[in-house]
Amino acid sequence: MTRIAIVGAAGRMGRTLIEAVAQSKEAQLTAVIERSGSAFIGMDAGTLIGQDLLGVQLTDQLASVTDRFDVLIDFTVPEVTLKNLAVCAQMGKKMVIGTTGFNAEQNQQITAMAQRTALVYAPNMSVGVNLCFKLAEIAAQILGETADIEIIEAHHRHKIDAPSGTALELGRRVAKVLDRDLATCAVYGREGRTGAREQKTIGFETIRAGDIVGDHTVMFACEGERVEITHKASSRMNFARGAVRAAHWLADKRLGSFNMMDVLGL
Selected binder of ligand NAD within 7, 71, 149, 244 (CB under 6 A): 7
2 vs 124, which CB is nearer to ligand NAD?
124
What residues contact 214, with CB distance under 8 A and at least 6 apart? 124, 153, 154, 155, 164, 166, 231, 232, 233
Which one among 69, 75, 102, 204 touches ligand NAD, defined by CB under 6 A? 75
| Integer Cα distance of 157 and 91 in angstroms | 37
Of 134, 159, 200, 253, the catalytic one is: 159
**Number of residues near ligand NAD (by CB under 6 A):** 24
State the chain's maximal CA–CA distance in angstroms: 61
**Cβ contacts of residue 103 below 8 Å, gap of 6+?**
78
Is there a catalytic annotation at residue 159? yes
- CA 50, 55, 56 angle in degrees (round to 5)? 85
Catalytic-residue membership of 231: no
- Shortest spacing between CB 120 and ligand NAD, in angstroms: 10
Query: Distance between CA 224 and CA 62 in Å, rounded?
Result: 56
For the bound state, the minimum distance from the C-beta of residue 195 to ligand NAD, rounded and expressed in Å, comes to 33
Give the x-and-dash track for 145-184 against ligand NAD (CB under 6 A): ----------------------------------------
Angle between helices 78-91 and 104-113 (to 10 degrees): 10
Say how far apart CA 135 and CA 235 lie, in whole Å.
Answer: 22
**Residue partners of 205: CB distance under 8 A and separation at least 6:** 150, 151, 152, 153, 189
Q: Which of residues 236-265 bind ligand NAD (CB under 6 A)?
A: 239
Looking at 93, 94, 155, 248, which residue is catalytic? 155
- In whole angstroms, the minimum distance from the beta carbon of 150 to ligand NAD comes to 21
Q: Which residues are catalytic?
A: 155, 159
Where along the sequence are the contacts to ligand NAD (CB under 6 A)? 7-8, 10-14, 33-35, 38, 75-77, 80, 98-101, 122-125, 239
